[in-house]
Copies of this chain bind each other. A is one copy, B any other.
């Protein structure tokens, strides 16, 4: 779960990030509206904590800018305690409104509440895909297309492919693969990864003999071949 914390005050931002990390979510601080917009464009977020009083932008501007970029839930955390601002923010697209000074436990509980709801509901929408060369993975349907042909992979092979595709430039060591696919520690004398990798490569190259998709980085591990 990735949470973006938009707050210009350094101390408060830091405090909020700590609350989030204590609950084992990842927190990314942003200190201005423009910085926040950049982060929103760059990747998907599960929740935004937003201070309304940012330099150079009004609260409504920020809220509508966020709404234009994504439909991520937004919790406003603001020093403005008046009903007028609160109601306007909620009407402008905020999902919650907490006034400063805030109770840490309450912020934590509200974050959890929104994430819980969001998680429960994100069953249907947003199509998620991974693409690389002519490999196309539909993460929801868990199908793999190569060279316009459907590829039947076992769940292990699928897990390996997904992992490699998640960071195509990264070299994954065998122990790295083992931890992420098998969720077990790796014992150096194990040929299992080799065999699975071989099987995966065979299936990929059957679908498109002209391409080589996975390369071996000698002494290091494996990586998608770019």
Contacts A71-B120, A223-B141 hold; do A218 and B154 have CB atoms under 8 A apart?
yes
Copy total for this chain: 2
Q: How large is the interface on A (under 10, 10 to 19, 20 to 34, 35 or more residues)?
A: 35 or more
CB distance from A89 to the nearest CB of B (A): 9
CB distance from A154 to the nearest CB of B (A): 7
Restricting to A80-129, which residues have a CB under 8 Å from any CB of B?
A: 83, 86-87, 90-91, 93-96, 103, 105-106, 109-110, 112-114, 116-118, 120-125
* A159 closest partner in B (C-beta): B219
* A120 closest partner in B (C-beta): B71
- CB of A199 closer than 8 Å to a CB of B: no
Which of chain B's residues have a CB closer than 8 A to the CB of A95?
Answer: 113-114, 117
A109 to B85, CA, bound (A): 11
Q: Are A105 and B87 in contact (CB under 8 A)?
A: yes
Q: Are B106 and A83 in contact (CB under 8 A)?
A: yes
Which of chain B's residues have a CB closer than 8 A to the CB of A123?
Answer: 121, 123-124, 163, 166-167, 170, 180
Q: Mark A48-89, 1 if CB is under 8 A from B, else 0.
A: 000000000000000000000001010000000001001100
- CB of A21 closer than 8 Å to a CB of B: no
Which of chain B's residues have a CB closer than 8 A to the CB of A110?
Answer: 90
Tell me the A residues contacting B by CB distance below 8 Å: 71, 73, 83, 86-87, 90-91, 93-96, 103, 105-106, 109-110, 112-114, 116-118, 120-125, 138, 140-142, 154-156, 158, 163, 166-167, 169-171, 179-180, 217-220, 223
